[in-house]
Amino acid sequence: MLLLDEAELVGDEAHGKITITGDEYFLQGHFPGNPVVPGVIQCEMLAQNCCVLLMGDEEARGATPFYTSLDKVRFKRPVRPGDTVDLVCSITRARGPFRFATGTASVNGEVCCRADMSFALMHES
């Protein structure tokens, strides 16, 4: 499930964007009459944006990044239909097949979600 409308590498950061239309499946029933993007979906947006950071990572070539942890997750404001979510992520360190990253999602410059996350680079066996 690809969520992002666009993503690009800008220096050492991944910059992504998604506009919430109101037709997304994850808004159904969350909440009736008051649609709000679920927090887990906001975290997935950050994770997908982080994948852009792996494009120049030789060790990541041909690997599938698997989420291994989320830490220090904070939700600061709701994301609603009509909002355009701007994402900025960066790799903070690498250790073997693991990549550690931090990301922020914001709407109109106001932070809606912030998280630290890690990924394992898994090659087919």
pLDDT in tens, 44-99: 999 999 999 998 888 999 999 999 999 999 999 999 999 999 999 999 999 999 99
Give pLDDT tens digits for 82-96. 999 999 999 999 999
CA atoms lying within 13 Å on the CB side of residue 8? 3
Asked whether 54 and 60 are in contact (CB, 8 A), the reply is: yes
Out of 5, 6, 19, 30, pick the active-site residue: 30
Query: Would you tell me how many other CB atoms lie within 10 Å of the CB of residue 87?
Result: 27
Q: What is the pLDDT of residue 69?
A: 97
Residue 79 C-alpha from the chain's centroid: 14
Q: What is the pTM of this model?
A: 0.95
> In this predicted structure, what is the pLDDT of residue 8?
97
Q: How many angstroms separate the CA atoms of 125 and 113, rounded?
A: 35
- 30 catalytic? Reply is yes
For 6-122, CATH number out of 3.40.50.460, 3.10.129.10, 3.40.50.300, 3.40.1190.20 equals 3.10.129.10
So what's the pLDDT on residue 124? Answer: 86
